[in-house]
Chain A
């Protein structure tokens, strides 16, 4: 039985000029517990809309979404979202940011701090507990957001292009870290991206989406296990298959004569 079930979900937006924009068109998707799923596609393909519906921030125009048998109606601390612009509270220290989600649970203050410090250690920021977000680099801020998400021990982590604002090298480093942390913590991850390499590095399955109207074109399994080597032939093979999906691979038009 699948853990997350998206059945025939559509979502329309009415634009300012009155015309209707079909962000999602009859989308079906099933996700197993513990899977790392990447929603991949160009802008306008509805990948962020789908994520927002899964996370409960938006409703679907038609169709149903269930997680663990329950219909999704509103956001819940069991499913935490990590945003592209981090969503850290700039007036709080790093430690207090990580404690945010724990404050709603009835925990004593020292217990809260212990948990927060533990997850700061998981993301390697134990020495920055008393800094403010503005004092940290983008990559470090996103690590704080990851620690904050992990701290409430959610079942699912939704990530909405979390590394899009980072430079290429920091991004690759964080991809490896997130991949390792999430597999270690055994979370289900739904990760939205428009970066093909990112999807191949991270995902167990890549959900390839196309725009106008937003639909799932195909789902590609990525059978690379553990730490992935961006330079290995297997990696390039899968990467090539994704390129083909988006028709980005030029056809070989060379004619051969013997």
Chain B
């Protein structure tokens, strides 16, 4: 009940602030939209089906980039975490590449992959890849040794041990990395789609700007925010399930 009160309250504060800024600024509606204008613009985008199509395009692109990054990073992380010697040589490289914003690679990405569909995908991939890789390696290296002892005791051999024991044992810790990567990748989705994609929410933002439709721009921004929140909510829920199943108390 309290939650509804807080959400409603924060919405009212946002709208009031926004309306006041609009009045005080006195800008042209095409440059900075009022709340009401944005709602009208959102209505137009919904009615024409443009928004639905762009959401679909963004989400499928996001899913492809994120999931492929996660699968690859977890597989690689498991192996590299296990073979500590190899990781010792790769760790410095990963540490140097990790803090670089994926968008900085854009000129090279365009050079390698051209414009259109690929840059957005590659940027989402890079954004998700490093947090998951580093979380997986750290989780494998910090694994409770008793699980390995049990596995060895029961004669569980080298290939099965990774899938049967190590991966499930470290999964709760990887889940934190997955969550972090989801947020980061979502932020970079828009940037990626601004590089020549012909659909998606990032494209909608460019398109709205080029057409001087600030109301559409604002509607797209709000959509991105709400979708990001929903994705985060889903992942938080799944994380909670995992933690419960594994019998861990959730870190708050």
Task: Please state if A85 and B146 are interface contacts (CB–CB under 8 Å).
Answer: yes
Task: Please state if B149 and A134 are interface contacts (CB–CB under 8 Å).
Answer: no
Residues 83-135 of A at the B interface (beta carbon under 8 Å): 83, 85, 87, 89-91, 100-101, 103-104, 132-135
Task: Please state if A134 and B154 are interface contacts (CB–CB under 8 Å).
Answer: no
Bound-complex Cα distance A14 to B47 (A): 74
> When each residue 53-96 of chain A gets 1 if its CB lies under 8 Å from chain B and 0 otherwise, what string results?
00101000000000000000011110111010101011100000
Confirm or deny: B152 has a beta carbon within 8 angstroms of a beta carbon on chain A. yes
Q: Which residues of A contact B146 (CB under 8 A)?
A: 83, 85, 87
Residues 152-174 of B at the A interface (beta carbon under 8 Å): 152-156, 165, 168-169, 171
> When each residue 208-252 of chain B gets 1 if its CB lies under 8 Å from chain A and 0 otherwise, what string results?
000000000000000000000000000000000000111110000
Cβ of B145 to closest chain A Cβ, rounded Å: 10
Nearest to B152 among chain A residues (CB) is A75
Q: Which residues of A contact B152 (CB under 8 A)?
A: 57, 74-75
Task: Please state if A90 and B154 are interface contacts (CB–CB under 8 Å).
Answer: no
Q: Which residues of B contact A135 (CB under 8 A)?
A: 247
Q: Which of B155, B165, B246 contacts A104 (CB 8 A)?
A: B155
Known: A89-B169, A100-B154. A57 touches B247 (CB 8 A): no
Q: Which residues of A contact B153 (CB under 8 A)?
A: 55, 75-77, 79-81, 101
User: Contact size class for B?
Assistant: 10 to 19
Q: Which residues of B contact A90 (CB under 8 A)?
A: 245-248
Confirm or deny: A206 has a beta carbon within 8 angstroms of a beta carbon on chain B. no
Task: Please state if A77 and B154 are interface contacts (CB–CB under 8 Å).
Answer: yes
Bound-complex Cα distance A89 to B171 (A): 12
Task: Please state if A87 and B246 are interface contacts (CB–CB under 8 Å).
Answer: no
Confirm or deny: A152 has a beta carbon within 8 angstroms of a beta carbon on chain B. yes
Bound-complex Cα distance A152 to B248 (A): 29
Nearest to B246 among chain A residues (CB) is A90
Most chain A C-beta atoms within 10 Å of own C-beta, residue among B156, B168, B247, B248: B247
Confirm or deny: B105 has a beta carbon within 8 angstroms of a beta carbon on chain A. no
Q: Which residues of B contact A81 (CB under 8 A)?
A: 149, 153
Known: A87-B147, A87-B149, A89-B168. A134 touches B246 (CB 8 A): yes
Known: A104-B155, A134-B246. A57 touches B168 (CB 8 A): no
Confirm or deny: B21 has a beta carbon within 8 angstroms of a beta carbon on chain A. no
Bound-complex Cα distance A91 to B248 (A): 11
> When each residue 162-198 of chain B gets 1 if its CB lies under 8 Å from chain A and 0 otherwise, what string results?
0001001101000000000000000000000000000
Cβ of A1 to closest chain B Cβ, rounded Å: 26
Task: Please state if B150 and A132 are interface contacts (CB–CB under 8 Å).
Answer: no
Known: A85-B146, A134-B247, A135-B247. A101 touches B154 (CB 8 A): yes
Task: Please state if A89 and B155 are interface contacts (CB–CB under 8 Å).
Answer: no
Q: Which residues of B contact A103 (CB under 8 A)?
A: 154, 156
Bound-complex Cα distance A75 to B165 (A): 17
Q: Which of B147, B149, B248 contacts A89 (CB 8 A)?
A: B147
Residues 19-71 of B at the A interface (beta carbon under 8 Å): none
Most chain B C-beta atoms within 10 Å of own C-beta, residue among A132, A133, A134: A134
Task: Please state if A104 and B154 are interface contacts (CB–CB under 8 Å).
Answer: yes
Bound-complex Cα distance A57 to B245 (A): 30
Nearest to A135 among chain B residues (CB) is B247
Most chain B C-beta atoms within 10 Å of own C-beta, residue among A77, A85, A90, A135: A90
- Residue ranges of B at the interface with A (Cβ–Cβ < 8 Å): 146-147, 149-150, 152-156, 165, 168-169, 171, 244-248
**Can you offer 21 A-B residue contacts whose CB atoms are under 8 A?**
A57-B152, A74-B152, A76-B153, A77-B153, A77-B155, A79-B153, A80-B153, A80-B154, A81-B153, A83-B146, A83-B150, A87-B150, A89-B147, A89-B169, A90-B247, A91-B169, A103-B154, A103-B156, A132-B247, A134-B244, A134-B246
